[in-house]
């Protein structure tokens, strides 16, 4: 059985997004498992919905750079993922992130066609806050520091309640059901360390960029994880 037309249109748009040069209609039709006539109709439909697709039969098609996906182009599963994801963030994130998640969902809903809007508004997928620990007050500051690539000074208490002052380069954070974990390069230990946000006693964004790009830190940290050379900080 062929895929629903909305899903097929999304797949076609994804195919065009991945191309940097015009692609023949026959190639697209084969990829989607449809006839050329159906492909031409789908191209016309996408154009009518605002997709800026250059080309014509016999020449090939190219989606203009910078084009955004039409807001209504979601499959049922994708909409459920969006709803559940934003509701989970609203339940597990800090206050600012929760507000942003709800605002993002509201923005999506306002531009959906009626049938899809109803699907979101009547979704039975929830992420309740039962038993979750409120986010620490400095989580928003940590997120900003990660985004900006800034060095951070923090006062930290280990499992034995011994305190220390650290300057770290935060580059990743994990939001778990009962805690927030921070991954960072620690200047004191000269290595990658994991810190629990609930053990942070005080935190100050120094406003100073750390000396390496965040994507380099992420890459090296992931490599260190594969070799089990990163542990939670205990000292």
Identify whether the C-beta of residue 163 lies closer than 8 Å to the C-beta of residue 201.
yes
Nearest to 57 by CA among 32, 100, 24: 24
Q: How far apart are CA 87 and CA 121, in angstroms?
A: 12
Q: Would 218 be classed as within a structural domain?
A: yes
Q: Is 182 contained in some domain?
A: yes
Cβ-Cβ contacts under 8 Å for 95 (sequence gap 6 or more): 135, 140
Q: Would residue 109 count as lying in a domain?
A: yes
Work out the average pLDDT over 120-132: 78
Give the pLDDT of residue 72: 54
Same domain flag for 84 and 55: no
pLDDT digits (tens, 9 = 90+) for 72-106: 567 778 888 999 999 888 888 888 988 888 888 88
Please calculate the CA angle 188-194-197 and round it to the nearest 5 degrees.
105
Count of structural domains within the chain = 3
- Tell me: do 81 and 56 sit in the same domain: no
| Rounded distance between C-alpha atoms, residue 9 and residue 31, angstroms | 12
Task: Say yes or no: 173 and 110 in one domain.
Answer: no
Residue 212 in any domain: the answer is yes
Whether residue 102 is contained in a domain is answered as yes
Same domain for 219 and 184, yes or no, is: yes
Does residue 126 fall inside a structural domain? no
Contact 82, 71 (CB under 8 A): no
pLDDT recorded at residue 235: 45
Average pLDDT value for residue range 59-78: 72
Mean pLDDT of 60-77: 71
CA distance to 37, 76, 142, per residue, from 145 (Å) = 52, 35, 5
The pLDDT tens digits of the residues spanning 162-202 come to 999 999 999 999 988 778 899 999 999 999 999 998 899 99
Same domain, 143 and 97: no
What is the domain range of residue 21? Answer: 5-63
Please report whether residue 175 resides in a domain: yes
Question: Residue 214: enclosing H or E segment and its boundaries?
Answer: helix 214-226
At 166, which CATH number? 2.30.30
Rounded Cα gap, residues 179 and 177, in angstroms: 6
> Does residue 4 have a pLDDT over 90?
no
Query: Are residue 213 and residue 155 in the same domain, yes or no?
Result: yes
Residue 1 has pLDDT above 50, yes or no: no
Q: Is the pLDDT of residue 232 over 70?
A: no
CATH at residue 42:
1.10.10.10
Percentage of residues in the chain having pLDDT higher than 70: 89
Does the residue 134 lie in any domain? no
3 pLDDT exceeds 60? no
3-class secondary structure per residue, 75-142: CHHHHHHHHHHHHHHHHHCCHHHHHHHHHHHHHHHHCCCHHHHHHHHCCCCCCCCCCCCCCCCCHHHH
Q: Domain check: are 181 and 210 in the same one?
A: yes
Paired strand residues for 9: none
* Predicted structure pTM score: 0.64
Contact, 56 vs 40, CB < 8 A? no
Please indicate whether residue 179 or residue 215 has the higher confidence score (pLDDT): 215
Does one domain contain both 144 and 212?
yes
Phi, psi of 110 (to 5 degrees): -65, -25
pLDDT exceeds cutoff 60 at 68: no
What pLDDT score does 125 carry?
85
Q: Compute the chain's Rg from CA coordinates.
A: 23
Distance between CA atoms of residues 168 and 59, nearest Å: 55
């Amino acid at each position: 059985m062929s895929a629903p037309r909305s899903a097929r249109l999304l797949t076609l748009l994804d195919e065009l997004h991945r191309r940097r040069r015009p692609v023949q209609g026959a190639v697209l039709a084969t990829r989607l498992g449809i006839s050329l006539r159906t492909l031409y109709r789908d191209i016309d439909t996408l154009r009518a919905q605002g997709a800026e697709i250059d080309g014509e039969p016999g020449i090939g098609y190219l989606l203009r750079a910078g084009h955004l996906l039409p807001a209504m182009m979601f499959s049922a599963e994708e909409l459920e993922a969006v709803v559940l994801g934003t509701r989970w963030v609203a339940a597990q994130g800090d206050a600012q992130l929760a507000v942003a998640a709800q605002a993002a969902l509201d923005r999506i809903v306002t531009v959906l066609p009626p049938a899809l809007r109803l699907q979101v508004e009547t979704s039975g997928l929830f992420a309740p806050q039962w038993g979750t620990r409120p986010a620490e007050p400095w989580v928003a500051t940590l997120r900003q520091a990660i985004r900006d690539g800034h060095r951070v000074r923090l006062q930290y208490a280990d499992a034995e309640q011994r305190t220390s002052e650290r300057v770290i380069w935060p580059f990743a954070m994990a939001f778990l059901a009962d805690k927030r974990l921070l991954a960072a390069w620690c200047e004191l230990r000269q290595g990658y360390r994991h810190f629990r946000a609930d053990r942070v006693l005080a935190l100050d964004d120094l406003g100073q960029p750390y000396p390496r790009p965040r994507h380099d830190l992420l890459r090296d940290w992931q490599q260190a994880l594969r070799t089990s050379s990163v542990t939670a900080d205990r000292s």
